[in-house]
Structure 1
Amino acid sequence: MDIAYDSLPKRTIMCIDMKSFYASCAAVALGLDPLTCHLAVVGDTEREGSVILAATPALKRDFGIKTGNRLFEVPKDSRIQLVNATMATYLNISVQVTELFYQYVPMEAIHTYSVDESFLDIRGTERLWGSDWELAEKIRDDLYKRFGLSCAIGIGPNMLMSKVCLDIEAKKRGIAKWTYDDVEKKLWPISPLQKMWGIGSRVERRLNHMGIFSVEQLAAYSLPKLEKAFGVMGNQLYYHAWGVDLSELGAPILNGQISYGKSQILMRDYNDPIEVKRVILEMCEEVAARAREERRAGQTVCLGVGYSKDATSGGFHRQMTVAEPTNITMEMYDVCLKIFAKNYDGSTVRRVSVALANICDDDSIQLNLLDTARPKQRELGYAMDEIRRKHGSNALLRGVSYAQGGTARHRNTLVGGHKA
């Protein structure tokens, strides 16, 4: 298939990634060089099983320690510094970085993708700042001079190409640029498929079962067959394999895949299913509140339970579609209990995730005339949310949060899941 690239919108998008952001911020705060010091940011330096949230490039290179390792895996070496995460500080610096971008492009041309990654639409800035490459170099220099932080910048004709350019090439070289002319020689060789932005482990497994192991094979596959297997997502997978992404700045990489979810690694092993259910209820409360905050509801409830590494299986992830969309906590919880009862095998639990998918507007919910309590439950949820907004997350909690195994009280004191 030949893509008429000349007919596509003429855009220039930058994807900017702050290198080892948490670790670099911590290093600069201590007066160290982020590129040469050996430093790791840890969730809690007092817990041997705590996760390494970020590591400086030197620590990755010289000791093989990277994000996701556990504290007990860090060698006892005097050159290595361990610091607790201070998420409030990192978020504050992230905001200041975004404010720096305002010097180059208007606010609507910036999409903050995560704490350490942003997209910039730089169309029309040539007369002010020169070429895209010159602007990228200026932004890198300004970030280093002001914050002492390094970054990598991928440049492309759309969000997809700039992000993949960043991940595949710019993170090694500092700055890189891909155009549609680079699709065949740079995009297509990508393998395994998880290296492609927007393709997760589950989608990759499904594609592998279809005989697709590289982006080139994905581009050569039958579009109707992909759409039959994946629906609208199959269409987007196909065109992304050709480097085509028509989404507006800040739109989801795969339209139609919006959901609300929450996942947590438990502080300890949970052997008692009653305690696990308490955590599930707390998480249903949080997910439902997130949906209510945007006046949304969902028709599919998802529950994931990950077992301890000593268990014989990894756990399960199942979903169930209900008759009517919901954002009512107890309705979600009842569905999760059914999934849990059907799939839990008694193993030790270490991770729990809850999600609400198949999203629609809350005002489209059909009220059942035979269920007079449902409207009251819906209004109660919004009332509880308002109390928490005014007085704090811990101002109103369910009783399970005060029982053995509850985690909400502690997590509500954290920022981004870690110490503030």
Structure 2
Amino acid sequence: MQTALPNRSIICIDMKCFYASCIALIEGLDVMQIPIAVIANFNQPGSVVLAASPPMKERFKIKTGNRLFEIPKHPDIRLFEPKMDFFLDMSVAITKLIMQYVPREAIHVYSVDECFVDLTGTEKLWGAPEVTAKAIQQAIFEQFHIPSSIGMGPNMLIAKLALDLAAKSSGFAKWTYDDIPTKLWSIHPLSEMWGIGKQMEKNLNAMGIFTVGGLAHANLEDLEARFGVMGNQLYYHAWGIDYSTFGEPLVKGQISYGKGQMLMRDYRTSAEILVVILEMCEDIAKRARMANHAGRTISLGLSYSHKAMSKGFYRSKTVELPTNDTLTIYAVCKELLAQHFLGEPARQLSIRLSNIESERSIQLNLFDSTKDKRQQLALTMDAIRNKFGATSLLRAVSYTSAGTAIQRKRLVGGHLA
């Protein structure tokens, strides 16, 4: 069976505490010796820690996800706000360094601090793939003073698993298909495996599946009946099988358009929350239109402040006709908010347009005479924003105290540029 499976030399490179390492480079500090934390916003006591250096984690038990108010007052600790434009420049520079070893099409940038590289066929140039992987790792450290971890495998999935489950502690790990039963199947809880979230873990636990090995030996028909195509993917991923190629998502068929936003203060009323929701819908709809896509399923997530008694909600609604119209998406989000908002202070929002189809599948509606005009108006607004900037044309609500679009103009990736 294995002869028919992908068997390439794929590595997954993760830059250790990337943001902290970049800040250390700017400030002339040693990221491996100085306790450093990168904070999203100094003005918010509840602001999240975006990155922490190894000494910060070891000495003070502060890691990514902690809050500013949890950091102890200590003279050795150095705190910094993010410089997202510099972080992105560094990410691009690292990609260019890797291009000295492989062509651009052999690199798949997964995030600002993580990428996949296909080393297949480079043996005649650089030697064994393991040697080349470690040479790239050393080059990144020598040029940028950024430590990294590398997982290696015959496909993207196994490379990622080797990274997450072994290389992040050892620096380098190579897995093969033969390693899956001994190194992956014992993993529990299930959410420790890449691609399985907490909610999916609960669903699988309800089926009596508690380890990756249990998932690998579950009944495939039962998984597909319960989770559809995702059940099929989970089953084969538990065996280390992945046919993804560079330039497409690791989990096929999961294209969607989403946006998440941490609010800089508590939003206590539906009216205030709807202002931000409208701004977010505008962005999501524009991205879908630019890709000539439309979606049927609209999801709204809301997390309450830590002061609230409730945990929040994430709900979805599927509409009959695919859409990329801002106000249509907004109307669904408004309906979901009215149904599930409990009136407690909100601190985080997320919206997603999924169940994606080609824009050509949007049907004419004889009972909606303004649909074509709205579509043309939306495309005109998109063109203006593309040419003159995202805030060159805003809805009036963005100029109210609840609006965030103007304030977020100077942010990159949600953080200070």
TM-score, shorter chain, exceeding 0.5: yes
Q: Does 1:344 find its partner at 2:346?
A: no
Distance 1:126 1:406 in 2: 55
Distance 2:31 2:247 in 1: 30
Alignment deviations for residues 95-150 of structure 1 (CA, whole Å, 9 cap, x no partner): 00000111111111100000000000110111111112111110111111111111
Distance 1:193 1:291 in 2: 33
Q: Sequence identity, in percent? A: 52
Alignment deviations for residues 218-263 of structure 1 (CA, whole Å, 9 cap, x no partner): 0010000001111111111100000100111232122112111111
Give the structure 1 partner of residue 302 of structure 2: 305
CA shift, 1:154, in A, is 0.2
Q: How does 1:53-92 map to 2 (within 5 A)?
A: 53-92=50-89
Distance 2:358 2:186 in 1: 40
Give the structure 2 partner of residue 316 of structure 1: 313
Distance 1:47 1:86 in 2: 17
Q: Does 1:375 find its partner at 2:372?
A: yes
Q: For 1:222, give the aligned amino acid.
A: N
Q: How does 1:333-412 map to 2 (within 5 A)?
A: 333-412=330-409
Note the residue ranges of structure 1 that are not aligned, 5 or more in a row: none
Structure 1 outlier segments of 4+, above 4 Å: none
Distance 1:46 1:337 in 2: 30
CA shift, 1:46, in A, is 3.2
Give the structure 2 partner of residue 251 of structure 1: 248
CA shift, 1:370, in A, is 2.5
Q: For 1:139, give the aligned amino acid.
A: I
Q: Does 1:222 find its partner at 2:200?
A: no
Alignment deviations for residues 355-404 of structure 1 (CA, whole Å, 9 cap, x no partner): 10100111221111221211111121111111111111110011111112
Q: For 1:244, give the aligned amino acid.
A: I
Q: How does 1:124-135 map to 2 (within 5 A)?
A: 124-135=121-132
Q: Does 1:263 find its partner at 2:260?
A: yes
Distance 2:267 2:143 in 1: 46
Distance 1:121 1:17 in 2: 15
SS of residue paired to 2:406: helix
Distance 1:289 1:232 in 2: 28
SS of residue paired to 2:391: helix
SS of residue paired to 2:410: coil
CA shift, 1:313, in A, is 1.6
Alpha-carbon RMSD: 1.0
Q: For 1:217, give the aligned amino acid.
A: G
1:154/1:177 contact within 8 Å kept: yes
2:294/2:356 contact within 8 Å kept: yes
Distance 1:97 1:64 in 2: 29
Q: For 2:345, give the aligned amino acid.
A: T
How many residues in Structure 1 have an aligned counterpart in Structure 2?
417
Alignment deviations for residues 299-351 of structure 1 (CA, whole Å, 9 cap, x no partner): 01111111122222211111111111001000011111111111112111111
CA shift, 1:289, in A, is 1.1
Q: How does 1:129-144 map to 2 (within 5 A)?
A: 129-144=126-141
Moved more, 93-102 or 343-352: 343-352
Give the structure 2 partner of residue 235 of structure 1: 232
Normalising to structure 1: TM-score of the pair?
A: 0.97
1:165 pairs, out of 162, 166, 169, with: 162
CA shift, 1:45, in A, is 2.2
Give the structure 2 partner of residue 183 of structure 1: 180
SS of residue paired to 2:6: coil
Alignment deviations for residues 250-277 of structure 1 (CA, whole Å, 9 cap, x no partner): 3212211211111111111111221011
2:97 pairs, out of 92, 97, 100, with: 100
1:277 pairs, out of 274, 277, 296, with: 274
Give the structure 2 partner of residue 27 of structure 1: 24
Distance 2:304 2:46 in 1: 16
Distance 1:236 1:44 in 2: 39
1:113/1:250 contact within 8 Å kept: no
Q: How does 1:43-62 map to 2 (within 5 A)?
A: 43-62=40-59
Q: For 2:282, give the aligned amino acid.
A: E
1:205 pairs, out of 202, 206, 212, with: 202
2:167/2:173 contact within 8 Å kept: yes
2:120/2:129 contact within 8 Å kept: no
Distance 1:250 1:223 in 2: 28
Q: 1:130 to 1:18 in 2, by over 3 A?
A: same
1:329 pairs, out of 302, 307, 326, with: 326
2:44/2:264 contact within 8 Å kept: no
SS of residue paired to 1:393: coil
Q: Does 1:109 find its partner at 2:99?
A: no
Alignment deviations for residues 81-101 of structure 1 (CA, whole Å, 9 cap, x no partner): 011100000000100000011
Q: For 1:364, give the aligned amino acid.
A: S
SS of residue paired to 1:396: coil
Moved more, 283-292 or 43-52: 43-52
Normalising to structure 2: TM-score of the pair?
A: 0.98
SS of residue paired to 1:93: helix
Q: For 2:396, give the aligned amino acid.
A: G
